[in-house]
Structure 1
Amino acid sequence: MPTLEDRLRSCNRSAVHLEMRDGYMRSDPRYAAWQNGVRSDPAESDPKRRPWLRLISDLVAQGVEVRRARIVSEPVSDYIRFEHHLTDPTVQAGEQVRWLPRRRASALALPGNDFWLFDHSSVIFHHFAGDGELAPDDEEFTDDPGVVKLCADAFEAVWALAVPHEDYRLT
């Protein structure tokens, strides 16, 4: 089964990601370090030590538009503060990121799970346990045209209302 990186590297035009939870993978060592006050680790901005940055740079250099939208409760959780802290290097690598306060999403039709949409032709849903850790069946793939359209429409609706990363202020 292809990995997320495999799917991203196979994109020709676009990869969009919608995140709708207020906390993920709290067992992540980077999150633990951040909670303990580590705020200026050079690894956060180093593509050699943070492979995600290299991947985004590679995709954008190949002409793939990579966008991420996050729907967040306000005041934001500590985990969202951590994500916000890590986002500047991602944006510098070429990923476009926007933030939507959950209050502004009430009238939107949204899928029940976070997802990646690849070239408007296939979707990977991510499944998480209640504590934010990945569920045992953490990925669900579909190329069903109706589901792809639902996800594309939902993402674009969120994107239109969301605040660009550089303008979003944590509350």
Structure 2
Amino acid sequence: MTDSIFDRIRSAEGLLLDRPTYHADSDDEEKKLDGGVVWKLERAQFFNEVGDEAWDAFVAGDWARVLEIFESERAAIRRDVARYGRQGVRFRRLRIVGDPPTPYLQWESHSHRIFVECGHDIRALDAAEVAGLERAAALPELMVYGDCVLYQVRYDEGWTPIGAKRVDDRDLVTEAAAAVAALWKRSEPFPDYFRRCIAELPAPQPAGGD
């Protein structure tokens, strides 16, 4: 069986960056962009969002506070959307969604709804649609900046973010962007997913990974 592009990303050589260095490095790459697409691929159904105010409120069981925090972020989100617009950059976020949704996915989906309403482009794709690509392992968490660089985001065993692997192989980056774009074409607008699978659910209770 031929390895998929996602298998090759996992095995590719790259520069390992800790979390602060990854954020600084990716910010620099983003500022260099002059048009093109930034792809974000999210696969895991649980992350430990340590240090996030809305996550802390969720863990504390204060769902009303979670929604309040998400609502308060609209102005900052719109500023990001405007900045991408000035650069001619399209930021596209593809969320792989399990069924039934985990408590984490419910929490995150309410944030994603706000992001979409403020102008971000987010789509959802059922996890069953990528099963054929996951014979060896689940799809990696990816950030792909144009055709220049990609980052495989790294997590510890508790799914707390710890940094990323930077890959500069242009052929691999280009192929990764094309692979995520192909999945994007099979996905649905996030608001449709939200209305169908999330909106009518009761407030989620904090829980661990799936």
TM normalised by structure 1 equals 0.83
The structure with more radius of gyration: 2
User: What does residue 38 of structure 2 align with?
Assistant: 15
- 1:36: how far off? 1.7
| Aligned counterpart in structure 2 of residue 36 of structure 1, from 62, 72, 82 | 62
Aligned-partner residue type, residue 16 of structure 1 = W
User: What does residue 46 of structure 1 align with?
Assistant: 75
TM normalised by structure 2 equals 0.69
- 1:21: how far off? 0.7
- Structure having greater relative contact order (Cα 8 Å, sep ≥ 6): 2
Q: Secondary structure in 2 aligned to 1:79?
A: helix
| Aligned counterpart in structure 1 of residue 109 of structure 2, from 84, 93, 117 | 84
**What whole-Å deviation, never above 9, does each CA across 1:20-50 have from its counterpart, x for those lacking one?**
1111234333123134212233423231xxx
User: What does residue 130 of structure 1 align with?
Assistant: 157
Q: 1:16 & 1:86 partners in 2: Cα distance?
A: 18
- 1:65: how far off? 0.7
Contact 2:43 2:138 in 1 (8 A): no
Aligned-partner residue type, residue 36 of structure 1 = D
Q: 1:14 & 1:157 partners in 2: Cα distance?
A: 14
**What whole-Å deviation, never above 9, does each CA across 1:46-76 have from its counterpart, x for those lacking one?**
31xxxx5522331123311110001121111
| 2:181 is the alignment partner of 1:156 | yes
Following superposition of structure 1 onto structure 2, how do residues 109-128 of structure 1 map, counting pairs within 5 Å? 112-128=139-155
| Aligned counterpart in structure 2 of residue 62 of structure 1, from 84, 87, 95 | 87
From the two aligned structures, give the one with the greater helix fraction: 2
Q: Relative to structure 1, is the Cα distance of residues 10 and 56 closer, same or farther in structure 2, using a 3 angstrom cutoff?
A: farther
Gaps spanning 5+ residues in structure 2: where? 1-20, 199-210
Aligned length: 165
- 1:134: how far off? 1.3
RMSD over aligned Cα atoms: 2.3
Q: 2:81 & 2:160 partners in 1: Cα distance?
A: 24
- 1:129: how far off? 1.5
Gaps spanning 5+ residues in structure 1: where? none
| 2:26 is the alignment partner of 1:4 | yes
Name the % identity: 21
- 1:124: how far off? 1.2
